[in-house]
Amino acid sequence: MLNEFWFDPMAQLLLELKGVSKRYSLRPERRLRDATADTLRELCGHSARQGLRDGEFWALSNINLHVCAGEVVGVIGHNGAGKSTLLNLVAQIILPTTGSISLFSDRICRIDQGGILSAQETGRENIRLQLALHGVPVNETENEIEAIAAFADLQRQLDSPVATYSSGMRSRLGFAIYARLNPDLFLIDEGIGGGDQRFRERFRGFIENYCAEGGSMLFCMHDTNMIQTLCDRVMLLDGGQEVITADPTTAIDAYNSLAAQRGLPALPIRRRRGATNPAPEVTTANSSIPLAPPTSLLDIVDIRVKGADGHQLHAGEPAAIEIDCQLAEGGLSAVCMITISRGEIAPLATVQGPTVSITCPGVTLRCLIGSLALVPGEYQVRIQLFDTRLKRMINLMDHSSRSTFRIEPMKQHQPGQAGRGGMVFLSADWEFRSTSVASFAS
């Protein structure tokens, strides 16, 4: 692991992580019991448990990081590397298992794909709420609303529910709100991924001015042009571990070295004329942890969410989620996890399947949910696969592991079956069907 950056003790420190680790369990039925046992252990004065129980894994392991005023720090890594977990920890949405996170300012804002927005409220109502939460005087609110709408190019859609916005419109509105609030530190998780070219140019101009005036950023992004232009340094995560913290070009080269080992696409990189590609050989910080299976071998071909009878999906009724997995060669043992969200930071519902053996050419996983107790509207579903042998997430291309679906109003009102908010645990039965080569070819 390379970390050559000298810390200036005179710099104004905004954020510091020391030995931060986050442990997760793949067994939802044991999470409450295990969390209670860990809490009792701490109350009795014992040190935090270091090992893993059956079904647990480290989403992050021993991360050290600091951000000072005026610094822009990037975080890169393949899917499942721990980038979003890191930002969730810094934003205090979740707590670390071990280690400490110190924030030296209360003016810290997180931006992701619409994470701060309420889908049921209009754009205007969302802006007004955020301004009130951050102490903007009431007599300044209307002028601020118009300025934010203009920055996000959403004047015409301002009085429409955010649920009707595209992902790009949501990310633009979220960023425009916090840009106007001018925090000391921005936390950005692919925050402008949906913005068009004009908005990207406006974003770049704002960030350059923001940083020149002493603002700071910690962001996870795959836009290497922005990484090389804006970042002072970049941390590469892999399997929850820090591989390297270096200048942007060196960190991207390290990312591409890992990508080449796994058959993954490389990130584009800009080089000065005459510069050569060092193509460094890198491994994970803990060399005893094997690399995840190459994405080129395992792919999600299709995701279908529909009523259990194969027809339109209605609130409160049974549902089926079908996932076609294609494997180029060999076989593996994996656990499938399904996350259902609606633009919020925390997922609305999670479903976890049993361990399944996936062999070439692939398998179709079918998750049967007895009652999808969610309100009508548009939702996003994300599929993650955990390799039970290597004890780590399998890298999947983001565009293939995500899909959207819509829940229609229930046909007939059934009290208690729909309209629940917050975290929802959905009981489900699973079916598995091996596929033939011909079925994928068709």
Confidence of residue 195 (pLDDT cuts 50, 70, 90): low
Mean pLDDT of the chain: 77
Higher per-residue pLDDT: 410 or 373: 373
Contacts of 20 (CB under 8 A, 6+ apart): 60, 62, 63, 64, 65, 89, 96, 98, 99, 100, 101
Give the pLDDT of residue 139: 87
Measured CA to CA, the distance from residue 223 to residue 201 in angstroms comes to 13
Enter the pTM of the model.
0.60
pLDDT level of residue 18 (50, 70, 90 thresholds): very high
Q: CATH number of the domain at 2-107+183-262, please? A: 3.40.50.300
Give tens-digit pLDDT for 203-234. 777 777 777 677 788 988 777 877 887 888 99
Burial class (CB in 10 A: 0-12, 13-18, 19+), 12: middle
- pLDDT number for residue 173: 86
Q: Do residues 60 and 20 lie in contact, with contact meaning Cβ atoms separated by under 8 Å?
A: yes
Q: What proportions of the chain, in percent to the nearest 5, are helix, strand and coil?
A: 25, 35, 40
Domain boundaries, the chain: 2-107+183-262, 298-441
Q: Provide the pLDDT for residue 229.
A: 79
* 195 burial level (CB within 10 Å; 0-12, 13-18, 19+): buried
pLDDT at 339 over 50: yes
Fold that domain 298-441 belongs to in CATH? Coagulation Factor XIII; Chain A, domain 1 (2.70.50)
